Amino acid sequence: MKNRIQHGSKTIAITVLLTLTLLAFAKVPKSLQQTQPPKIPMYIHGTVYITKVTGENITAPEGINVFGKIEENIVASTETNATGYYILKIDVTTYEGKTVNLYVEKVGPLASKTVSSGSYPQDLTAVDTEPPTPPTNVACISPPSDRLPNFNWTASTDNLAVEGYYVNITGYPTYWIGNVTEWESPDTLPDGNYTFNIWARDLAGYNSTVASINFSIFAPPPTPPQVEIIAPTETNPLYTQAEKTITVTYQYTEPSPLNATIKVYNATYTVIQITNTTAITPGTNITQTVNLTIPQTAPEGKYDLSITMYNTYNLSTTATQSNAVIIDNTAPTIAYPYQDPPGQVMQPGIIVEIDLGQNVTVRVNVTDLTSGVKTVILSYNISATEWANITMQNATGNEYTATGNEYTATIPSSHLPIDTTINYYITAIDNAGNTAETPTSGTYFQSHVIPEFTQTLAVLLILLAFAAIIAIRKGKEQRLFHQI
């Protein structure tokens, strides 16, 4: 049955008995192919046995494919269930007389299949003798500051399949990284020049040549943090009292922050100093707020605020705001409460009379040396139960007191009827929230509305009295004249 294709039907099933010709697929010179196993693909010219078989075909085993090639036409094989024979069905009317090239190819990883050829079992291990190509376009894709550099490349190719890659950085360990096209070094690199090497391995274990690129690590030296005080500032200071809690807000930029020291101080006294380490996260324009409680013993005065930010390289930057925190425990001073009409400095408990139909202007001098006057309020009533508040306006050019800081308000009293009593007192609040009141709590400045004509009548009476005296005198002179 050697070299025989049996005729008799249009399609002849032929079993390829893979015998000596397919013994092995070791790498050998072509000149030895007659007596030595040939390479794949194997060209067969009358060196295989072909047998007509009957029976049901099954799928060829995984990993090995046997097929015929007639001119440019591929004839795929199947495998018989019972015998393990590979079967090529060849249409005789089409291909009679043609040469059938028989191929054995490996279609999976390192597959082998033992097929039986009568008494000649053969091990059909597909042997790969070609190494893969090295990867191309190898590149370092991370910046020089990245001490764990990243690389990528275009995949290698292989006659069968690339299994994966070996990589290393010269002087560092070699890693098997599988079939990927990107890698990050797990080794932290100091500043320097390096070579990255990569080579592929195929499924048969052949290595490609090595592809290499040079790259550098040059991380910039660390710089001090950037820090800025947001609040309080010299422009917008924070007025407070002892034992009160203040909030400090600052902003920083630092990739490796360590801590921040917040200090409220002046040349002679440090009010408070704390080092903030919690929630110090790396980043750009990170805003932090810190609450500080002013100690009870802190003297009044103006204090600077500083924030010193450290990074893990022990580099620091200090931001300062002068006179940003003002501690004031003293109430403002209220002096010279003056009322017009009648135009006099007021005393509590002494009722001054005002004419009907007059508005009353009240002036007062308020000073606060530490934090400054925030608000001055005149509270008045005409019924002893309903108090009304007027914010007194700051005025300059005080003509009634020796110092400045005069505040003025007008009580709308012109509509008040005769016998109305106006009570009022003045409250001053400084910027730290200290308050003062005058007169002392529970007493008031008081005015009483009287009829306007009371005075006019008095003047009239005086004038009438003078007129009467003159008339009497004139009468006496006339009598004297007539007597002469």
Q: Which stretch binds Ca ion (CB under 5 A): 103-111, 187-195, 222-230, 323-331?
A: 323-331
- Residue span 343-372 as binding mask against Ca ion, x where in contact by CB under 5 A, dash where not: -------------------------x-xx-
Least spacing, CB of residue 256 vs Ca ion, in Å: 17
- Measured from the CB atom, the residue of 144 and 348 that comes closer to Ca ion is 144
Q: Of 186 and 397, which CB lies nearer to Ca ion in the complex structure?
A: 186
Per-residue string for binding with Ca ion, 122-161, x by CB under 5 A?
Answer: ------x-x-----------x---x-x-x-------xxx-
Total residues at interface with Ca ion (CB under 5 A) = 18
* Per-residue interface string for the shown chain with Ca ion, residues 409-438, x marking contact by CB under 5 A: ---------------------x---x----
Q: How far is the CB of 379 from Ca ion (least distance, A)?
A: 20
Q: What is the 3-state secondary structure (H, E, C) of the chain?
A: CECCCCCCCCEEEEEEECCHHHCCCCCCCHHHCCCCCCCCCCCCCCCCEEEECCCCEECCCCCEEEEEEECCEEEEEEEECCCCCEEEEEEHHHHCCCCCEEEEEECCCCCEEEECCCCCCEEEECCCCCCCCCCEEEEECCCCCCCCCEEEEECCCCCCCEEEEEEEECCCCEEEEECCCEEECCCCCCCEEEEEEEEEEECCCCECCCEEEEEEECCCCCCCCEEEEEECCCCCCEEECCCCEEEEEEEEEECCEEEEEEEEECCCCEEEEEEECCCCCCEEEEEEEEEEECCCCCCCEEEEEEEEEEECCCCEEEEEEEEEEEECCCCCEEEEEEEECCCEECCCCCEEEEECCCCEEEEEEEECCCCCEEEEEEEEECCCCCCEEEECEEECCCCCCCCCCEEEEEECCCCCCCCCEEEEEEEEEECCCCEEEECCCCCCEEEEEECCHHHHHHHHHHHHHHHHHHHHHHHHHHHHHHHC
Q: Compare residues 14 and 203 and give the one whose CB is closer to Ca ion.
A: 203
Phi and psi at 368, nearest 5°, equal -150, 105
Going residue by residue from 201 to 220, which x/- string records binding to Ca ion, judged by CB under 5 A?
-x------------------
CB closer to Ca ion, 146 vs 452:
146
Query: In this complex, which beta carbon is closest to Ca ion, that of residue 158 or of residue 254?
Result: 158
**Would you give the binding string for Ca ion spanning residues 279-318, x where CB under 5 A is met?**
----------------------------------------
CB of 434 to Ca ion, least distance (A): 5
Residues 216-255 that bind Ca ion (CB under 5 A): none
- Which of residues 146 and 228 has its CB atom nearest to Ca ion in the complex? 146
Residues 170-189 that bind Ca ion (CB under 5 A): 184
Compare residues 318 and 394 and give the one whose CB is closer to Ca ion. 394
CB of 143 to Ca ion, least distance (A): 9
Closest alpha carbon to 142 in 172, 183, 174, 171: 183
The contact pattern for Ca ion, residues 1-40, with x = CB under 5 A and - = no contact, is ----------------------------------------
Minimum CB separation from Ca ion for residue 371, in Å? 5
What's the closest the beta carbon of residue 187 comes to Ca ion, in angstroms? 11
Task: Based on the shown chain and the rule CB under 5 A, indicate whether residue 328 belongs to the binding site for Ca ion.
Answer: yes
Provide, rounded to whole angstroms, the least separation between the CB of residue 128 and Ca ion.
4
Minimum separation from the CB atom of position 373 to Ca ion (A) = 8
Burial of 265 (0-12, 13-18, 19+ CB in 10 A): middle
Name the site residues for Ca ion (rule: CB under 5 A): 128, 130, 142, 146, 148, 150, 158-160, 184, 202, 328, 330, 368, 370-371, 430, 434
